[in-house]
Amino acid sequence: MKPIEKELTGKHLIGGKYCGAGGRFRGIDPAAGTELPTAFCEAGGAEVNCALELADEAFEILQTVPVKKIAGLLERIAAGLEAGSAAIIERAQLETALPAERLRSELARTAGQARAFAELALDGSWAQARIDHAIPGRKPLPKPDIRTIFMGAGPVVVFGASNFPLAISVAGTDTVAAFAARCPVVAKGHPAHPGTCELVARVIAEAIVWAKLPPGMFSLLQSSGYEAGLALVKHPLTAAVAFTGSLKGGRALFDAAAARPAPIPLYAEMGSVNPVFILPGAAAARAEGIAEGFVRSLNTGVGQFCTNPGMVLAVAGPAYERFLTAVCKNASCIPPAAMLHAGIQKAYDCGTERLSSIPGVKLAGTALGGASRGAGPKMAVCKIFTADAALLRRRPELSEEVFGPATVIYRCKNTAQMLEIARNMPGSLTATIHGTESELREQGGLVRALQRKAGRIVFNGFPTGLEPCASLHHGGPYPATTHSFFTSVGTAAIYRYVRPVCFQGFPDAALPEELRETNPRRVRRLVDNSLK
């Protein structure tokens, strides 16, 4: 398989055709603070409309395509990403300042996700076919034949994240999940990595041609502002929207989706504070080990992970002091690093300044010489703050996420105070508990409190580093997401883009294959209340 052409056009890619003229914005090298070659077009209403009309036409075609073609497309996208990896990683590195090694593993994960959804589509059991056979002689009324299956909801709009330019962007989980559900995708390119978006979109468009699928099933629109995104959310043909990014951006789009004449689901994953609870036994037994793992987790990807641990709760005492000392020591060795773009860097600086300015919050540790490093633009410096846990109740803004390698370590009086904090905190993607097994048994109340507040609870581990498998849930109560039922990573992400369709009294031949009596695709089904 030939790698994709690496020359950038700066144009949109709408239904397989490059279009647009007059580049208006450029990618920025965040490490150097300089503009990169190639100016990108700004999508307007015409492009939004064109992309969604093509998507709408493609949707109907996709409903009749053999599943093997859908799976073939996803496999081809995976292979295309791998074949084009040199050009994609080169550009992504320029646009994001992420290390090549990290981007290589992210590309591998992205290809792996596409293959996982190919497998899911081929298997077909995800669609949860349900059948209730007719009972014509039932009294007082006959029971009709009723069969239901999840089917694609319609054209999907995808807003990728800046922090995962491959795995949660143009060919990320949202796009391949929507394809697996036979839904077309209109991706809005992230303005922090527009060139990467174009190269990845090219891989998808070429795979669609190769698979002989309708080119309208995919478009990439480039845009540096808010208008194009809002227009995509408000367009009457859009059936669902995926967004990964900031609370402010996600909430604005959620509000727009809810205010439509016909509201649509907007699945936003907006990150969270991801609290870490260190129980006394664990702290006493391995304060230094936890500290080391914690600082590594805090600084993964320069702290730019949705699951970054921004809050630690531990019980005051000698073990707490050992933990704090070890955290500060580890943090002092973390070299400052460029963030994804100037906006994130600015938000990090403001956020950490805001923390510093709260009476009772103390800067306890930071990267050595970080602030004084003179060369290049500003860089993010890992910062460790401490505070008394009682402060959390008085200053609710402490529960807001500061995106980047900063954390606050709270001294709790005891585990009862920990529990009270857990019960009153906002929603998070994750919560982590470090403890001995007997402590975990004793702290059943803490686990139950966290079940209400987090999508994933990690025991004796760290929240960063997602395993995109069938069992993963990457979601959580607001503000982590706008709907905690759904996940944005893992194969269960397909449920964002489907809805049940129920067929009553249909002749067998007119039913979707999965619902036919002979079950030609051999999918798992719930038949007359028993799983078969």
Q: So which residues are the catalytic ones? A: 269, 306
Report, in Å, the least distance between residue 499 CB and a copy of itself: 4
Q: Which is nearer to a copy of itself, 176 or 406 (CB)?
A: 176
Q: Which is nearer to a copy of itself, 17 or 448 (CB)?
A: 448
Tell me the Ramachandran region of residue 172: left when phi exceeds 0, alpha when psi lies from -120 to 50, beta otherwise.
Answer: beta
Residue with tokens 């020591």: 329
Rg, Å, the chain Cα set: 25
Read off the tokens for 338. Answer: 């460029």
Residue 307 three-state SS: coil
Q: d(Cα 72, Cα 58) in Å, to the nearest integer?
A: 17
Read off the tokens for 21. Answer: 């003229």
Q: d(Cα 492, Cα 244) in Å, to the nearest integer?
A: 16
Q: Which is nearer to a copy of itself, 371 or 469 (CB)?
A: 469
Report, in Å, the least distance between residue 9 CB and a copy of itself: 34
- What's the Cα-to-Cα distance from 367 to each of 61, 313, 314, rounded to whole Å? 56, 22, 22
Q: Which is nearer to a copy of itself, 388 or 439 (CB)?
A: 439
Q: Which is nearer to a copy of itself, 59 or 403 (CB)?
A: 59
How many CB atoms are closer than 10 A to CB 7? 9
Q: d(Cα 166, Cα 297) in Å, to the nearest integer?
A: 20
Q: Which is nearer to a copy of itself, 324 or 449 (CB)?
A: 449
Report, in Å, the least distance between residue 277 CB and a copy of itself: 14
Read off the tokens for 4. Answer: 């994709």
| Cα four-point dihedral sign 107, 113, 116, 120 | negative
Report, in Å, the least distance between residue 275 CB and a copy of itself: 15
Report, in Å, the least distance between residue 398 CB and a copy of itself: 17
The β-bridge relationship of strands 275-278 and 428-434 is parallel
Report, in Å, the least distance between residue 188 CB and a copy of itself: 22
Report, in Å, the least distance between residue 171 CB and a copy of itself: 21
Residues 6+ apart with CB under 8 A from 483: 265, 267, 475
Q: Where are the alpha helices (DSSP H) in 185-279?
A: 194-210, 227-234, 247-258
Q: What is the crossing angle of helices 85-96 and 100-123, to 10°?
A: 120
DSSP state of 491: G
Q: Which is nearer to a copy of itself, 414 or 504 (CB)?
A: 504
**In 291-422, at which residue ranges do the beta strands (DSSP E only) sit?**
311-315, 362-366, 383-388, 406-412
Report, in Å, the least distance between residue 244 CB and a copy of itself: 17
Strand partners, 130: 148, 526
Q: Which is nearer to a copy of itself, 27 or 154 (CB)?
A: 154
Strand partners, 147: 131, 503
Closest CA to 497 of 276, 242, 287: 242
Q: d(Cα 183, Cα 403) in Å, to the nearest integer?
A: 32
Report, in Å, the least distance between residue 109 CB and a copy of itself: 11
Q: Which is nearer to a copy of itself, 1 or 135 (CB)?
A: 135
The β-bridge relationship of strands 383-388 and 362-366 is antiparallel
Residue 154 three-state SS: coil
